[in-house]
Structures are given as C-alpha cells and as structure tokens.
Amino acid sequence: MKVGILAAQGDFEAHAATLARMGVEHGFVRAPRDLDGVDAIILPGGESTTQWKFLVDEGLEAGLREFGERGGPIFGTCAGAILLARDVRNPQQQSLGLADISVIRNGYGRQLASEVRHGLTTISPEPIEMVFIRAPIIERVGRDVQVLANSDGNPVLIQEGRILIATFHPELTSDNTVHEYFLRVARSGAAKERVPYDSVPQPAVSAGPVEPR
C-alpha cells in the first residue's frame, strides 16, 4: 500500500515521518500526476485557505474529490478536516465536501491557546495523546458519521465510510494508534463499517451533536 500526503503547506513532513517509522510506503502529492498509484491519501494540518487555493490552482481539487467519491480512503487532520467537511464556518470556505460534518474554523481559539490533551477513543483500549493547534470544532455530524472520540463535549475523531478525520494532530506525537487505524480502514473493503481493534472491549464514547435520522 502506498499513501499519498498532500504537500502543499503545513505539517506533511510529520505525517511522512510517522509513516516512515511504521514502515509504510508513501509519497508527496503536489500535482495530479502524483495521485497515480496512490492507495490512500492524507490531508495534513496547516492553513486551510492556503491549502484550498493550492488544490484549485494545481488542479488537484477534482482528482481528490473523485478519489473520495469512489470510496478511496482519506485521512484529514486539523486543516484536512476543514478541507473534507461539507460545511465550513467562521468564516465560510469552500471545501471538498466529502464528509457529512459541519466545522467551525479555529474553534478553540488562537495558536497561543493550543493544548495537549489525553482522551479515550473507540479505536484503542488506552487513552491517546491529542495535540490541538488552532483546531476546528465539529459542530454537526451526519447520521452516517461515527464518532470515535470526543473531547470537551465535541467530536474530535470521526469516521464516515473510509474517510477518517481528526481535529487534532496525531502526527505530532510518538503514538501511531490513529495512523494504524487509518491503514486498517484503508485496507478494509467495508466502506460503511468501523474497523474494530483486535476484539478489545471499547470505552464508551458519546455521539456528540448528531443530525436527526
């Protein structure tokens, strides 16, 4: 499996270092041709407006949207969550619209207010480290979206089919849990089902704000 990492701006090198540590083949995506031969894609943290402009200017927008619409696995962290969201506020921004969520940009405040937390998820029996840097807030999740972790009452790790979104930065820690989970999702043929972790009893995680069925 080869993972393509959007390398427009932001912390794409940190994702590359994580995948290298895990022994996973990867490459940087800067042009449409870089999507050839890629089995999964990571959209890293950074400045979402800059990244969106890059996608449009370089002709990557259509290719990424097509990849996601045909069930290709995509993992977005922080700014990547904004690029994947269907609705973006504070201020409004165009996006790929591949995940049925609404997000508020910079929802936790400025970078000086950023923090590190530890929280339970449904993908690991142990709490994981969550690094928040000018993170968006997920204020709404659609009915097919699964909440895998909450923090301070807000969803911070969600999955819809083979799309995984974290509003924090797992690539800035030494814990590979979230990346390992994404690779299991990417290798799974079940686009609508969450991939359990090795039959370990899962901690309860509340659903957060969910769109009525």
Q: Catalytic one among 15, 61, 160, 169?
A: 169
Q: Catalytic one among 15, 26, 171, 179?
A: 171
Could you write out the DSSP letters of every residue in 10-41?
Answer: SSHHHHHHHHHHHT-EEEEE-SGGGGTT-SEE
- Residue 78 appears among annotated catalytic residues: yes
Give the tokens for residue 21.
Answer: 């540590």
Q: Catalytic one among 61, 78, 160, 179?
A: 78
Instruction: Tell which residue, 76, 106, 112, has the closest CA to residue 89.
Output: 106
Residue 206 per-residue DSSP state = -
For residues 130 and 33, give the distance between their C-alpha atoms in angstroms, rounded to a whole number. Answer: 33
Burial label for 139, CB within 10 Å (0-12, 13-18, 19+), is middle
CA 136 to chain CA centroid, Å, is 12
- Residue 129 appears among annotated catalytic residues: no
Catalytic residues: 78, 169, 171
